[in-house]
Amino acid sequence: MRSRQLFTPGPTEVPWRVREKMAGPMIHHRTEEFRAIQRETIDDLREVMRTRNPVMLLACSGTGAMEAALVNLTKPGEKVLVTVLGKFSHRWKEIAEAYGLDVATVDARWGDPVRPEDLERALGAHPGVGVVFTTHAETSTGVLQDVESMARIAHAKGALIVVDGITSVCAEKLETDAWGLDVVVGSSQKGVMTPPGLAFLSLSDAARARMEGAGQPAYYFDLKRALASHEKGDSPWTPPIGLVMGLHEALKMIKEEGLESVIERHARNARAVRAAVRALDLEVFPSVPANCTTAIVIPDGHAEQIRKHLYDVYGIRIAGGQERLKGKIVRIGHLGHYFESDIFTVVSSFESTLLDMGLVAAGGRGVEALFREFHEM
Ligand SMILES: *Cc1c(COP(=O)(O)O)cnc(C)c1O
């Protein structure tokens, strides 16, 4: 079978070293051997999240960790504020409503970030909000938000800030402690190059204090229980042992490359893809683009056919638009283990697809833009 490659913003490609670790023999979790792996994994996560706060591992996808954060930090009926600018940020609202919270939102057009001054105004209009739920990189539109400024504003109004960092951890500058982010949520199948099923979150002192007083009924996702258990190097339930071993290896790879280099590589890849898109006379969708994915406006309803052709003919899987953006955009993921040669692969295949479909007259302009970006020609 021809090789296939994922260029989707989750799941992302899993490097060989990570797959090999996960294919090894199963070990038991109530052993020193596993405790050491878990401890190192958590310490490395704290490094990439730039925090001294405790970090917890949860056996679920990213949404599970979002739910865990919300359930443990809020009371039923309490008023919270959510920034809504796309499908994933809207998920905070859906979770909050599912738990009976009183949800106020501050919205942006899909494709734009919520501006910090809009958040400030919204907090002024909704006094008594104790927690702001927001999103660093909104993957459905490819938008990056200024969560550093948002944290300052939330704290000035006496609110905590909970950040979905699921597609920004290891892909963007993200300073959990320096920016005062009370909770940052991440998950395995994104920038940390591991299969789906393992999520993580950090908790500041203020978040832990709030958890003591607030919190809704929870059992599997009771973070107080997880915290107490992690302090002993343990986990309350059987952890996804294979995934933890995979993440352990992935974080080792990130440390070897260096976090700053990893983030710079993401920024360079994202810049290069955007340059190629513009060279092809196509429009980059977000006004403030994130490094995780490039959303591209596709005119005339060709989006789904482009995706199908890319996969069927070139073995390249990219993402489409979600909900109101379905059929209107495609999203090339470059989050995780992607290097210059991978970017050439995806752009040349994308360009070939446009050529095959008769949407461009000649090939080469996108690839030429990559040469300029990567080699400063
Ligand atoms: C992928 C993603 C999620 C979580 O999705 P799961 O399918 O639950 O892992 C949440 N937020 C953002 C921004 C994402 O990109």
Dump pLDDT digits (tens) for 160-192: 999 999 999 999 999 999 999 999 999 999 999
Protein residue with least CA distance to atom 5, ligand 1: 62
139 lines ligand 1 (CB under 6 A): yes
pTM > 0.95: yes
Tokens 């909770």 found at:
183
Average pLDDT over residues 294-309: 97
Do 5-10+258-375 and 16-256 have matching folds? no
Look up residue 354 and give its two tokens. Answer: 């446009």
pLDDT, position 215: 79
Q: What element of type H or E holds 162?
A: strand 160-164
Structure tokens at 258: 């260096």
Tell which atom from ligand 1 comes closest to the C-alpha of 199. 9
pLDDT at 376: 81
- C-beta separation of 73 from 131 below 8 A: yes
pLDDT at 166: 98
C-beta 83 within 6 A of ligand 1: no
Q: Is the CB of 88 under 6 A from ligand 1?
A: yes
- 3-state class (DSSP) for residue 15: coil
Of 128-142, 207-221, 304-318, which gets the smallest average pLDDT?
207-221
Probe ligand 1: pick from 6, 60, 61, 66, max atoms within 8 Å of CB?
61
Strand partners, 320: 330
What's the token pair of residue 337? 């283990």
Query: CATH assignment of 16-256, given 2.60.120.260, 3.40.190.10, 3.40.640.10, 3.40.50.460?
Result: 3.40.640.10
Cα–ligand 1 centroid distance for 375 (angstroms): 33
The average pLDDT across 353-360 equals 97
Answer whether the bond into residue 240 is a cis peptide, omega within 30°.
Answer: no
What letter would DSSP give residue 114? P
Q: Which fold has domain 5-10+258-375?
A: Aspartate Aminotransferase, domain 1 (3.90.1150)
Residue 3 binned pLDDT confidence (cut-offs 50, 70, 90)? confident
**Which pLDDT belongs to residue 161?**
98
Share of the chain above pLDDT 90, in %: 97
Domain boundaries, the chain: 5-10+258-375, 16-256
Query: Do the beta carbons of residue 106 and residue 118 sit within 8 Å?
Result: yes
